[in-house]
Amino acid sequence: MKKTIFAATIIALSLVAFLSTFTPAFAADKILDTKVKQVVTKNDKNGNEYTRLTISETKDLNGVKYSTDTAVMCFGDTVVKAKTLKSGDSLKAVVTENEYKGRISYNLIAFVAPDTKK
């Protein structure tokens, strides 16, 4: 009986360790302070409105600097304000980073109010 419980415990711990290697890492929230390149508002398959903001980011790969377009997705309450943005407007927002097949995108969590203290 003790051997069975011990074996089951070892198997369970091994399974947890094995499966934990496949769980995605969660990125911390960050603040974007950039210019909007493009604004597109559409409806999803359920009829809910969403907005995709495109921004330009500079990246570095093995010492080679390059610029790439990155999507900032706005859902729910953030869509109302995101729809009012135009190409060239400033964007300062709290976002969470996503990665899909090696490409980075962001989900907008909240807009950051401009600092009025001077």
pLDDT score of 24: 57
List the domains of the chain with CATH numbers: 30-111 (2.40.50.140)
pLDDT < 50 stretches in the chain: 116
Helix, strand, coil distribution of the chain in percent, nearest 5: 20, 50, 30
- Nearest-CA neighbor of 75 among 66, 83, 86? 83
pLDDT score of 117: 56
| Cβ contacts of 84 within 8 Å, gap of 6 or more | none
| Cβ contacts of 44 within 8 Å, gap of 6 or more | 50
